Chain A
Amino acid sequence: MPKKYHLNPKSAHPRFVSPGPFGIIEGDGCLNCANCVKKYCVYSVFRKRAFDQRQLFDTADSLCKNCFRCVQECYGRILSKTANPEFWSLGDDYWTPEIIVSNQSQAETGKIPVSGGGYGGPFTGPGFDSMWTDMSEIVRPTRDGIHGREYISTAVELGRVPKQPTFHSDAGFFHDPSLKSSPDFPELFGMDISPRVEVSLPVIFDLLPYGSFNSAVRYAIAQAAKETNTLMVIRAEDVEEDLRPLASNLVPLLPSGPAPNLAPIISWARMVQVPFTSATKVVEQVKEIKKINPAAVVSVRLPLNPRAEENAVALEGGGVEVLHFIADERGREREASSPRFIKDLIYNIHLRLVKDGCRDGLSLIFGGGLAMAEHVAKAIICGADAVSIETTLLIALECRVCGRCAREMSCPVELEKIAPNWGKQRVVNLMAAWHGQLLEVLGAMGLRDIRRLRGEVGRAIFLNEIEKETFGRIFAASDQKPVMKKEALHALAS
C-alpha cells in the first residue's frame, strides 16, 4: 500500500476581513439601558467588533451569526438586520458569494465546512446542481476513512494505460539481463510502457485566469502543488530559476510549434503540455518532445468546444497521453451558440471513448468552473480522471472575483503583495478541506479508491432522468382536469 496521504492544514488568517452576509443597523432612540442587549450577545459580537481601517467598515457584520437575539430583545427596538450589499455583490451568479466565502474559510482553516439545520439552498439548479451524488450506500460495506480508520486513496495516475501487455514472441529477451537495463528495453519487447504521473489528489492547478501577478503568486501555488503532491500548469516562459526545485510538480505549457530553446525544460519535466492546433501538428510536436524526453507524459490543452469529442478521438493513439480540456471559467462550452455545461461534455467525451474502446488510452482532465469539492466528485462521476482549478486558486488567496484586475484597476485584496508561504498554506488548506470532503463522499459510497468513481454514473442521480422516471410518469400523461376557479372557491367560503 502506498504511503498514507495526509495534508497538514495550518490556520492561515485572512489579510482582509471579509464582509458578512447581513448587516446590523442601529436606529435612533437608544434608551441607554443598563442591561443593554449588546452585553449579552452569545457570540460577543459587540465586544469584539472593531473598525476596519483599510476597508472602512465595522467588523460587527462579519462577526454576527444572524441569530436575531439582539434585534428581538432590544428594549428600544432600535436594532435591525438587513442584507449587506457588500457581501451579496461579491462574485457573480456562478461564483456566488456563498461559494467564495466557503472556499475562503476552507483556505483559512483547512476544515470541512459543517453546519446544522439542514440545507437551505434551492431544490436544484443549473450546471453541477442538476445532479446529486448518491452518498447513500446502505447495502454494501461502507468505509469510515474520514476518521482515519480505513485508508481511502484519492490518487490518480495520469497517462496511458495499455489495454494489455504485448510482447515480442521471442521470450529469450527475458533472460538477458543486460537488455533489461537498456533504455530501449520496452521497444525491444514491443511493450507499451507509457510514462505515467501519479498525483495524490485528482485536482491539478491550472493557469491563473486573470490578474497580473508577480512570481510570488506562482511560487506560492507551485509550493502548494508540491506539498499536496499534485501538478501545476505553468507557461514555459514563466518557469524561473526559483521554481526549478519544484520541477517535478510543474507542467510547462509549451508554445505550439518548434521551440528549440525549450529542450532543457522538456528534459526535466514529468509532464508537459502543448496547445491544440490540429491533430496532425500536435502529433508531430509530441514526437519531437518524446525524442527529447521519452519519460515525459505529454498532455494536450484543448478548448472544450463543440469539436472537443472529435478532437479527443483524433488524438487517441497519436502518442498523446493526457487531454486537458478547458471550458470557460463558468464551466460552459466554448465557441458554441448555445453552450452546454462541462458535466454533460465530460460525460459525452468519456462515453465516446469508452464506446470506441480506447478510454484508457488517454487520461482526461477537465477545467473551468470547478468551484467546490462536490464539483470534483461530480466531474469524476461523469467520466473525468482529474480536474483542474483556476479561479478557485485565486479565491483561496482571498480574491473576491470582482473583475477589477481585468479592467486594469487595483486589486482590493492586494493579491500582488502576498507572502509566498502564507499563499502556499492557504492553497494547501483548501486542498486539505477538499480532500476531506472527497473522503466523505467516497466513504459514504463505500469506495476505497477515487479511481473507482470514474464514470460511475450509478453513484449519481441526474435531475432530468429522475424527473422523467417519477414525475414524468405521473404528470406528463394525465389530461388536464377541470380546476376550480379561485373566485368560485372563495364564493363557496363566504
Chain B
Amino acid sequence: MLWPPEIRRTPSRFRNPIGKYKVHRGPACIHCGQCADLCPMSVHHRFGKKMLAPKDELCLGPSCSEKEFYCFNRCPQGALRMVANPNLQALRDYRWPADLLLSTWQQAETGEAPQADIEYRLGNSGGGFDRLRLRLPSPEHKPFSMSENEEEVSTAVVLNRRSDGRPQVRIGVPFYGGGMSFGSVSINTMLSRARAAEAWDTFSCTGEGGYPDPLRRYDDHMITQVATGLFGVREETIQRVRIVEFKYAQGAKPGLGGHLLGDKVTPAVAKMREAVAGNSLFSPFPFHSVYSVEDHKKHVDWIKEINPRCLVSVKVSTPTDVDMVAVGSYYAGAHIIHLDGSYGGTGAAPDIAKKNIAMPIEYAIPKVHRFLSEEGIRDRITLIVSGGIRTAYDIAKAIALGADGAVIGTADMVALECIRCRNCESGQGCPRGIATTDPKLSNLVVVDWGSQRIINLYAAWRKQLVALLKLWGLKSIGELVGRTDFLNHLDYQQGEFEDDDIRPFLLRGNGRRGL
C-alpha cells in the first residue's frame, strides 16, 4: 500500500463553492487579464478574451494586501472589490463556526492547512478545546530541527496492550472513524469513509445498522458495532473484522438508544436491519442483559469466543463515574475503552439529550487517564476518545490531556461538504446527499470524490500533528500522551497568549507559489 496516500486536489462538487470573501468584478472590467496573471491562487481566469467569474473561495482575503500580487489595487480599471461573504452569517454554529467549516472544506480539497486567514484550529464554543492552547517550546529550552522528512516522526498507535495473545492492531494515524450506520448515512458515504480508512491504515465503523456487502472489501479496516438494538448483528459479521465495538452508549444521547426515523428506513435499510420499511427504529437502552461488570465480561467473552482474532472496544458515554466505568471495562477484558463525550454525534437525538448529556470529553479524558494510571493499568488499555473533536489541534489537545487517540465523526461529514444544517434526521435526510438513504440524493456523493476528500483531510491533519510533534521534539504521538505541560488554558494563565498557528512550518517548501 502506498504510504502516505496520494493527495489529489478534490474541489467542491458544487458549482459555487463558499469562500470567506466575495470577489466582485464590476462592469468597468476591460478583460485585460492582469489579475489572472497576478493571482497565484487562481482566483481569476481569462477564457479567450473574456474574464470568467472569480473563484472567490480561493481568495486569500485582506492578508494578501501586503503581497506583490495583490490584485485589488493593481486593477487598471479599479473594477475589483472584495467583501466578507455575507453567506457566512447564515452559518451560526458555535462548535463549527463558518471559519472551521471553510477551513475543513479547504483541507479536504487540498490536503494542506488553509493559506488564507481562516481559523482552522478552533471553534467558537467558548470552552473546552476552544479555551485550550498548545504551548510551543521556546527555542532556548528545546532546540529542535524541522526536517523535511515527515517519516521520522511516528503517528501510529497500537491498540492491543493486554498481551493476551491476540493479534496486534496498529493504526497509522491517531484517529479512526466513528460509527455511522447504514440508514443514518448512505452507502456512498460509508464507502468513502472506509476507503479513506484503508488508505490511512486506520479504521471506519459500521455503526448499528448491519454490515452492507459493499464494505466487505474493507473488512480489515472496519470496526463492526454491537449495539443495543443488535440491528444486523450476526456471528458472521463479527467474524469478519479485526475490531468489534460494543456500544453501550453514545455521547450525543447517552441513556438513549439510536434513533432512525421512519422516512429514512427505506426497503434496503429495512432489509439490512431485518425491520419493516417506513417504521422508525429506536434502539432500546441499555443492554438489558448487562447490569454489572460481570455481565459485561460475559458479553466481551462472547465476542472473543466468536472471533478469536479480534480486539474488543467498549464505547461508553461519560457519566460522572466514567473513571469507574473505564476500569470496569478493563477488568472485563476490553482492549480499547472508547469514551464518547457530549457535544459530538452525527445522528438524530432529542435536543434535550444533545445539550445535557454528560461530561464534556475535555473533562473526562484527564479524569480517566489519571484514574487508570493510579490503578496501574493505564499502559494496558488503549484510551480512545470522541465527542466534539473537530481538528488536528483538538486531537493533539485530547492526546496531551491523556488519550491515546481519537474518533472522528462530524469532521468526516464536513469533508464531504456537510454544512451542519442539522436536517439529517427528517424526511429523506440530508439535502446534501451525505446522511440520507434516498437513492437520488445519495448519488450526490461519488465514492471516488468522497474518499479522496477524507484522505486529503486526514493528510492535512497528519501534517499538522507531525509538525507539532517536531516542535515539541517528540518522536512519536505516543510520547504526547498525558503531556499537559504542553497545554495552556486561557482561564487559568495570566498574560498574553502566543498564537499557536504552525502554518508557516507546514507551508515551507511544499512547492506552492506565493507564500
Which residues of A line the B interface, CB within 8 A?
21-22, 25, 42-43, 65-69, 71-75, 77, 80-83, 102, 112-125, 132-142, 144, 146-147, 372-374, 377, 437, 440-441, 443-446, 458, 461, 466-467, 469-476, 478, 480-486, 488-490, 492-494
Q: Is B388 an interface residue (CB 8 A)?
A: yes
Contact of A115 among B128, B284, B349 (CB under 8 A): B349
| B248-303 contacts to A (CB < 8 Å) | 248-249, 252-256, 259, 261, 282, 284-286, 288, 291-292
From B152-160, B207-215, B488-496, give the one contacting chain A. B488-496
B356 near A374 with CB under 8 A, answer yes
B286 near A142 with CB under 8 A, answer yes
Cα(A458)–Cα(B354), bound, Å: 19
A67 near B508 with CB under 8 A, answer no
A120 near B422 with CB under 8 A, answer yes
Report A-chain residues with C-beta under 8 Å of the C-beta of B494.
Answer: 480
Contact mask for chain B residues 128-168; partner A; CB cutoff 8 A; 1 contact, 0 none? 10110001111111000010000000000000000000000
Q: Is B202 an interface residue (CB 8 A)?
A: no
A132 near B348 with CB under 8 A, answer no
A122 near B126 with CB under 8 A, answer yes
| B406-438 contacts to A (CB < 8 Å) | 410, 413, 418-428, 431-432, 435
Q: B292, B325, B504: which has the most chain A beta carbons within 10 Å?
A: B504
Contact of A69 among B12, B288, B431 (CB under 8 A): B431
Cα(A492)–Cα(B86), bound, Å: 37
B249 near A136 with CB under 8 A, answer yes
Q: Which residue of A lies closest to B95 (CB)?
A: A120
Cα(A65)–Cα(B426), bound, Å: 11
Cα(A379)–Cα(B356), bound, Å: 14
A134 near B359 with CB under 8 A, answer yes
Chain B interface size band reads 35 or more
What is the distance, in angstroms, from B52's C-beta to the closest C-beta of chain A?
A: 11
B421 near A113 with CB under 8 A, answer no
B343 near A458 with CB under 8 A, answer no
Which residues of B line the A interface, CB within 8 A?
12, 14-18, 53, 86-87, 89-90, 92-96, 124-128, 130-131, 135-141, 146, 248-249, 252-256, 259, 261, 282, 284-286, 288, 291-292, 316-322, 324-325, 328, 342-360, 362-363, 366-367, 388, 401, 410, 413, 418-428, 431-432, 435, 441, 484-485, 487-489, 491-495, 497-499, 504-505, 508
Report A-chain residues with C-beta under 8 Å of the C-beta of B136.
Answer: 483-484, 489
Question: Taking A118-B354, A120-B420, A139-B291 as contacts, is the C-beta distance between A69 and B346 under 8 angstroms?
Answer: no
Could you list 8 examples of A-B contacts with CB < 8 Å?
A43-B431, A66-B419, A72-B12, A115-B348, A123-B128, A440-B353, A475-B492, A488-B139
Report A-chain residues with C-beta under 8 Å of the C-beta of B356.
Answer: 132-133, 135, 374, 377, 441
Q: Which residue of A lies closest to B284 (CB)?
A: A144
Report B-chain residues with C-beta under 8 Å of the C-beta of A120.
Answer: 92-96, 420, 422
Report B-chain residues with C-beta under 8 Å of the C-beta of A80.
Answer: 86-87
Report B-chain residues with C-beta under 8 Å of the C-beta of A146.
Answer: 256, 282
A115 near B425 with CB under 8 A, answer yes
B255 near A42 with CB under 8 A, answer no
B319 near A134 with CB under 8 A, answer yes
List 18 other contacts, CB 8 Å, given A117-B418, A132-B358, A134-B320.
A21-B92, A72-B15, A72-B17, A80-B87, A82-B90, A118-B252, A119-B252, A119-B354, A120-B94, A122-B126, A136-B249, A136-B320, A138-B319, A475-B489, A481-B135, A481-B485, A482-B141, A494-B508
A486 near B354 with CB under 8 A, answer no
Q: Which residue of B lies closest to A121 (CB)?
A: B94
What is the distance, in angstroms, from B427's C-beta to the closest C-beta of chain A?
A: 8
Q: Which residue of B lies closest to A24 (CB)?
A: B90
Report B-chain residues with C-beta under 8 Å of the C-beta of A137.
Answer: 254-255, 286, 319
Contact of B254 among A73, A114, A135, A484 (CB under 8 A): A135
Cα(A73)–Cα(B13), bound, Å: 10
